[in-house]
Structure 1
Amino acid sequence: MTRNDRHLSLDALRAAVADGSVDTVVVAFTDMQGRLQGKRLHGQYFLDVVVEHGTEGCNYLLGVDIDMNTVGGYAITSWERGYGDMEFVLDLDTLRVLSHLPATAMVQCDLVWPDHRPVVQSPRGILKAQLERARELGFTALAGTELEFILFEDTYEEASYAHYHDLTPANQYNVDYSILGGTRIEPVIRDIRNHMYAAGMNVEGSKGECNFGQHEIGFLYDEALVTADNHAVYKTAAKEIAAAHGKSLTFMAKYNEREGNSCHIHLSLRGLDGGLVFWDEGAGTRSALYDHFVAGVLATMTELTLLYAPNINSYKRFADGSFAPTTIAWGEDNRTCAVRLVGRGAGARMENRVPGGDVNPYLALAAMLAGGLHGIENELELEPALEGNAYAATGRGKVPGSLRDAREAFVSSAVARKAFGDEVVDHYTNMADVELAAFGAAVTDWELKRSFERM
């Protein structure tokens, strides 16, 4: 049973390899930084060998920085441990055609050690553990992620040669909801929409956003794991499709001083039978369980921000009047708050506005579930909604202002250690330490401009 009729069954893949319409299978997992990592296999080899026996990859893939440098501090991977292998466990539910690439299919994977113990630090495994925790309490989770990006006329190579300065955005003015602005770059956006639909994603549509060249493509709400899997594939494919058009795009949280790239995450729970648990149909209001869940997300927001905002650059988004939140509060359809509640009945859901376009969807969804289930289990009371401008609010908590602040809150979080385990908390704390050390050693353009002559 495939996720939908645009996903491939194994039998359909066999037929496609036999008739030559597929000759390559990408086997990939999502790493700490949210990137797809893996290998391309010949289609027949995949069917003859990998389907039954699996394949492997070096365990340093869960212990490198963004530049793929091997770094210290990780318990699971090091020179001393010999940088051995992890096994890729195929999730055939994710098998799909990548129509933007020639004759190519893809399957996503979980990770286990050679003795078949799970690699608990794997982002997909972390989310699956929280989904299982929810299931034990009688719930399934539905989610949607809203990724923004900025599209440039420059190729990735040209952008690199220019040191990512003075690039030409695809639009020269604010095109938020602008049909004309969208038409300007429709050849790229249309290709992304259609290729993602062919890859099994349920595409809603696209729209312009505020920053120059900024756009968003929306996808339908789905099971949380499906949403995270699709998010990872879409993020890579969008870059590949832009490159095929001689352009580039970035999902980084804050490319310049204008609006950053957000990734608002919508989430709700259902009963195991699909029944509503976030809404009291008789009273026509939110359920007590919904309130407890939101209270838990808010109560743990500071200590889990590291999983919503994992990079130095992530924190540049959090500025007053930016549509990125600074105040930890909730509101009814209030976009100035960290958490916005929207919808009624089956559409009732919470929107977490803290994550940026650089977020790892598995980790962010796992954090929301961990916080929300903490709220349910402890029957946390939901504070009153914030009305008006949250940027001007007093007496409420603030979103951590730096990676260092988020790191300190995460490493000492009892909720995180109970939900994820010490191995996971220590692993992602080290990831933050690596980034902080790298940034601390860098000399920025800001320093050079201010200091070269005048100091």
Structure 2
Amino acid sequence: MTQRHPHLLSLEQLRVRIEEGEIDTIIVAFTDMQGRLQGKRLHGQYFLDFVVEQGTEGCNYLLSVDVDMNTVDGYEMSSWDKGYGDMEFALDFDTIRLLTHLPATAMIQCDLVWLDHQPVVQSPRTILKAQLAKAADAGFTALAGTELEFILFDTTYEAAWSSGYQDLTPANQYNIDYSIVGTTRVEPLLRDIRNTMYAAGMNVEGAKGECNFGQHEIGFLYDEALVTADNHAVYKTAAKEIASAHGKALTFMAKYNEREGNSCHIHLSLRNTDGGIAFWDGDARTPTYDRFIAGILATMRDFTLLYAPNINSYKRFAGGSFAPTTVAWGLDNRTCAVRLVGKGPSARLENRVPGGDTNPYLALAAMMAGGLYGIDHELELEPEQTGNAYASDKPKVPTTLREARDAWHGSAIAREVFGDEVVDHYTNMADVELAAFDAAVTDWELRRTFERM
């Protein structure tokens, strides 16, 4: 198993830093449905005197709102009729980290539980922990890494908002994939993000340019799946905050323009709980590995909503774009939804479906649920896809949020492995987004019809 990062703090280390005046602000945060960190800032001494023992709460509407934080109908767990009561932020003291880009600040991530201490099953972190618990019962531990891309602009977030996000100047004006010159131009920001994240308890690998103008990726070493999801959520928030401090703005949205979208390729492997390699034996894949892949493929269409949760997510799935359109697997084949890489201890699968807007907890939960379903049902792995998967006759990844929503809502497998409460909750999330989009008048419509129709 992986070792805890030495920069993560224990509760006692945090206590000392607060009492010595080094830390005066504690961010208590959880990850919401949209993958955003939500929570509150507490004064350090108040945190020690009251919150460590008594906990803290927040309104249960935080898992029942849209992106604009509007209360919406259709959620069973929270409504006006139920009075919008509280839920408890259950502190996970294994997640204490310094945020060196903010003055005298530390963060603790949380689970969400009801006031009777029962888990909020619709919470993304709880959904992932439930699948990891099933894996542990079957004798497995999951290791994962997320590769998250963003596009950087030479503007502030405020100016981008005021311009309607039109005519933004990218930080690089040409394709800088692997370009040292291209990354040097924005190295002050990239370096700041890398070093801040290392100080926050993440194992930083490095940074590289990508294909779209101003597009970059900062990579992190794999870790246990829950740790990776926690780190991913912190990184997305901190990267935006650091960019803002540099007078710049960056976006993780899946498809900002007609060029290459922002991906979030997810690498995943299993270890036996005794530390043994579950996916490899001698010179070949194990039956466990093949069944795990088969399960992910068998559930890919049903679970796409958890990989691609937004209207914009589906604009990324285009032929010849390095974003997958075909539900297939291949050996080191980037045209497939699932790419197998590595041998022996490094053997792992790469899920290429999620984009930069994915919620890491939900995406990893979907991969674990699908893979474990394949193991439990001893699914047979179909033949490898060779050549160009875009041109194959394999099943296709859903092309719209509505198609993914219907597949998820009607999936017997999803209801079996996640439960009706989770399926119905995230169906309603999709319904809310679809209704909002259907009611919106877009720039595309204005340009095509204002004068000419």
Bin for the TM-score computed over the shorter chain: over 0.9
- Following the alignment from structure 2 to structure 1, what is the Cα–Cα distance between the partners of residues 44 and 341? 45
SS at structure 2 position matched to 1:328 = coil
Looking at structure 1, the residues matched to 386 and 214 of structure 2 have their Cα atoms a distance apart, in angstroms, of 32
Q: Tell whether the 8 Å contact from 1:310 to 1:359 is kept in structure 2 after alignment.
A: yes
Judge conservation of contact 2:129–2:226 (CA < 8 Å) in 1. yes
Q: Which of 442, 446, 449 is the matching residue for 2:447?
A: 449
Q: Which residue of 2 aligns with 1:296?
A: 295
Q: Distance in 2 between matches of 1:23 and 1:15?
A: 11
Q: 1:207 maps to what in 2?
A: 208
SS in 1 for 2:96: strand
Alpha-carbon distance between aligned partners in 2 of 1:28 and 1:419, rounded to the nearest angstrom: 27
Mapped partners of 2:121, 2:259: distance in 1: 38
Would you say 1:117 and 2:105 are equivalent positions? no
2:193 corresponds to = 192
Which of 424, 427, 442 matches 2:425?
427
Q: Is the 8 A contact 1:321 1:391 kept in 2?
A: yes
Q: Is the Cα contact below 8 Å between 2:150 and 2:250 reproduced in 1?
A: yes
CA deviation string 1:46-102 (max 9, x = no partner): 111101110000000000000001000000011111000000000000000001100
Instruction: Output aligned runs, 1:44-59, within 5 Å.
Output: 44-59=45-60
For the residues of structure 1 that align with 2:45 and 2:362, how far apart are their CA atoms? Answer: 34
Tell me, which stretches of 5 or more residues in structure 2 are unaligned? none
Cα offsets for 1:139-191 (capped at 9, x unmatched): 00000000000000000000000000100100000000000000000000000
Find out whether 1:407 has 2:408 as its counterpart. Answer: no
SS in 1 for 2:197: helix
**Matched residue, 2:108:** 107
1:3/1:94 contact within 8 Å kept: no
Alignment size in residue pairs:
452
Instruction: Provide the C-alpha distance between the structure 1 equivalents of 2:40 and 2:3, rounded to a whole number of angstroms.
Output: 23
Q: Does the 8 Å contact 2:10/2:96 carry over to 1? A: yes
1:246 Cα offset (Å): 0.3
Distance 1:348 1:3 in 2: 22
Q: Is the 8 A contact 1:96 1:107 kept in 2?
A: yes
Give the alignment of 1:180-329 within 5 angstroms: 180-281=181-282, 284-329=283-328
Matched residues in 2 for 1:156 and 1:3: separation?
35
| Residue 14 of structure 1, CA deviation | 1.1
Task: Kindly indicate whether the alpha-carbon contact (under 8 Å) linking 1:159 and 1:165 is maintained by their aligned counterparts in 2.
Answer: yes
Tell me, in whole angstroms, the C-alpha distance in 2 between the residues paired with 1:204 and 1:381.
Answer: 36
Structure 1, gaps ≥5 residues long: none
Q: Normalized against structure 1, the TM-score is what?
A: 0.99
Kindly state the Cα deviation for residue 3 of structure 1 after the two structures are TM-superposed. 2.4
Aligned with 1:416 (options 414, 419, 429): 414
Which one-letter code corresponds to 2:321 in the other structure? S
How far apart, in 1, do the equivalents of 2:151 and 2:274 lie?
40
Question: Shift in Å at residue 4 of structure 1?
Answer: 2.1
Q: Do structure 1's residue 379 and structure 2's residue 378 form an aligned pair?
A: yes
Secondary structure at 1:89's aligned position in 2? strand
- Measure the CA separation in 2 of the matches of 1:256 and 1:229: 29
2:403 alignment partner AA = D
Q: Which residue of 1 aligns with 2:343?
A: 344
CA contact (8 A) 2:5 2:203 kept: no
Q: Is the 8 A contact 1:147 1:357 kept in 2?
A: yes
Q: How far, CA to CA, are the matches of 1:273 and 1:23 in structure 2?
A: 41
Contact 1:298 1:329 in 2 (8 A): yes
Deviations 1:238-278 (A, max 9, x none): 00000000000000000000000000000011100111010
Which moves more between the two structures, 4-13 or 127-136?
4-13
Offset at 1:218?
0.3
2:396 to 395, 398, 407: 398
Which residue is equivalent to 1:71? 72
Is the contact between residue 175 and residue 212 of structure 1 (CA under 8 Å) also seen in structure 2? yes
**1:426 partner letter:** D
SS at match of 2:431: helix
In structure 2, distance between residues paired with 1:305 and 1:4: 32
Provide Cα deviations, 1:375-431, integer angstroms capped at 9, x if missing partner.
Answer: 00111111111111111112x100000000000000011111111110000000000
Cα distance in 2, alignment partners of residues 261 and 2 from structure 1: 30
Counterpart amino acid of residue 92 in structure 1: F
The CA distance in 2 between the partners of 1:432 and 1:195, in whole Å, is 34
Aligned residue identity for 1:94:
T
Q: Deviations over 1:116-161 (max 9, x none)?
A: 1110000000000000000111100000000000000000000000
Query: Letter of the aligned partner of 1:102 in structure 2?
Result: P
Tell me the alpha carbon deviations over residues 343-362 of structure 1, each in whole angstroms, 9 at most, x when there is no partner. 00000000000000000000
- Paired residue type of 2:333: N
**Amino acid of the structure 1 residue aligned with 2:441:** V
Shift of 1:21: 1.1
Q: Distance in 1 between matches of 2:322 and 2:22?
A: 45
Distance in 2 of aligned mates of 1:274 and 1:428? 35
Letter in 2 for 1:400: P
Query: Are the counterparts in 2 of residues 326 and 398 from structure 1 also a CA contact under 8 Å?
Result: yes
Read off the aligned partner of 2:5 and give its amino acid letter: N
Aligned to 2:32: 31
Q: Please state how far the C-alpha of 1:2 moved relative to its aligned partner.
A: 8.7
Q: TM-score, normalised by structure 2?
A: 0.99
DSSP 3-state at the match of 1:373: helix
Are the counterparts in 2 of residues 2 and 93 from structure 1 also a CA contact under 8 Å?
no
Would the aligned equivalents of 1:2 and 1:9 in 2 still touch at CA under 8 Å? no
Q: Distance in 2 between matches of 1:244 and 1:47?
A: 30
In the alignment, the residues of structure 2 paired with residue 202 and residue 4 of structure 1 have an alpha-carbon distance, to the nearest angstrom, of 8
Q: Tell me the amino acid that sits aligned with residue 105 of structure 2.
A: T
